[in-house]
Structure 1
Amino acid sequence: MRHRIAAVSAAALLTLVGSAGAAQAQPAGLYAPSAVVLAVSPGEDPAAVSRAVVLSCAPTARGTHPAPEEACADLAATAGTLDALLASPDPDRACPMHYDPVTVTAEGVWQGGRISWKHTFSNACAMSATLNGNAVFAF
């Protein structure tokens, strides 16, 4: 089942990127391709995907992400450095000190360049507190 989710997400990403590539009657560089598969996995193994979405941001925000416009804006604010998503955890949120890891990944193309990013949080509360107010992994 997990492999099927990953395969479906990868196929959806290729469809989005492929359809953007087929529509290159426009001048090159007008819209740099931006399509990523975002995934959340229990544990430290990113291959054990529990949920995933596809997000395409150029020329318009679309995909299976529930809030594509907000997620694209949050990704754009990182200027391609997804570690910036981790910059401001909610200081008012206390999380338990138990280890039940959750891994998030982003794979695809962002503004014409290939991205592959992974981060493992100690538990779901730490993930939520760190990504507080960010729509990228809010699915």
Structure 2
Amino acid sequence: MAEARPASLYAPSALVFSVAQGDDAAATVLRASTLSCAPAATGTHPDPQAACAALKSAGGTLDRLLTAPNPDHACPMHYAPVTVTADGVWQGTRVAWKHTFSNACEMSATVNGNAVFAF
């Protein structure tokens, strides 16, 4: 009898990211990107190497990639929610993450150029 063997020595790390206008499940997706980090950085993400490096430095915890909004980045105080999601697997563990910002400017100021969210 043959033994089942993994296809790779690496635990899978593949995520789908999206940015949607709204704060609920019916939100309209504005853009999306795929990212695979093991065994190599690939996907439709514009900079998969930098995004994978940032995720690795955060231990795959997406909340760690959010920063306090840049005080030099002034945003209007209107409510036009934008929701960022990540779904998939990070080092073999299921990921289902969602964060809603009050508007696109706040999102930009909070992710502060982080490569993961630059898609």
Give the alignment's TM-score, normalised by structure 2.
0.88
- Taking only aligned residues, the RMSD between alpha carbons, in angstroms, comes to 1.7
Aligned to 1:120: 100
Distance in 2 of aligned mates of 1:122 and 1:74: 24
Aligned to 1:37: 16
Aligned to 1:94: 74
Aligned to 1:131: 111
Give the alignment's TM-score, normalised by structure 1.
0.76
Following TM superposition, the consecutive aligned residue runs of length 4 or more in structure 1 with deviations greater than 6 angstroms are: none
Task: Give the C-alpha shift of residue 88 in structure 1.
Answer: 3.9
Q: Deviations over 1:21-47 (max 9, x none)?
A: x971x5xxx311100000000011245
Aligned to 1:50: 30
Whose strand proportion is higher, 1 or 2? 2
In structure 2, runs of 5+ residues without a counterpart are none
Aligned residues: 114
Distance in 1 of aligned mates of 2:54 and 2:68: 13
1:67 to 47, 51, 72: 47
Q: Letter of the 1:128 partner, please give it.
A: S
In structure 1, runs of 5+ residues without a counterpart are 1-21
